[in-house]
Amino acid sequence: VQLQASGGGLVQPGGSLKLSCAASGLLLDYYAVGWFRQAPGKEPEGISCISGSDSNSYYADSVKGRFTISRDSAKKSVYLEMNSLKPEDTAVYYCAAKMAPYYFCRHSSGRDADYAGQGTQVTVSS
């Protein structure tokens, strides 16, 4: 079983990126999937998560209105579209899956998830 996050990179403030979380060996529809991030010197933060079935979603206040989470069952993937990026969005972003309510990422680091992937670096800088 593997979760792989990708799509990070260097972007200017105000720019956009789309992250992907691809699952292998896992029926992702049975799991809520969350995106988490950890900036240098800071605690991990759960920023958005989505249910496995009805696409209910949660967003932390820090990203609400700028980020959009979605999933594609056929591709066994969950995406995080990030717009209006700010320097404070700079962090390592990773995804995690858990058989839990869709809001499981709230107040969570994702380390207690059933499965967690390696991260992808997002740097927002001019």
Q: What is the spatial distance between Cα 100 and Cα 17, in angstroms, rounded to a whole number?
A: 27
Q: 């403030």: which residue's tokens?
A: 13
SS3 sequence of 89-114? HCEEEEEEEECCCHHHHCCCCCCCCC
pLDDT reported for residue 22: 95
pLDDT reported for residue 1: 82
Q: What is the spatial distance between Cα 22 and Cα 95, in angstroms, rounded to a whole number?
A: 9
24-59 confidence digits (pLDDT tens): 998 888 999 999 999 999 999 999 999 987 779 999
Q: How confident is the model at residue 64 (pLDDT cuts 50, 70, 90)?
A: very high
Q: What is the spatial distance between Cα 35 and Cα 45, in angstroms, rounded to a whole number?
A: 9
pLDDT reported for residue 53: 79
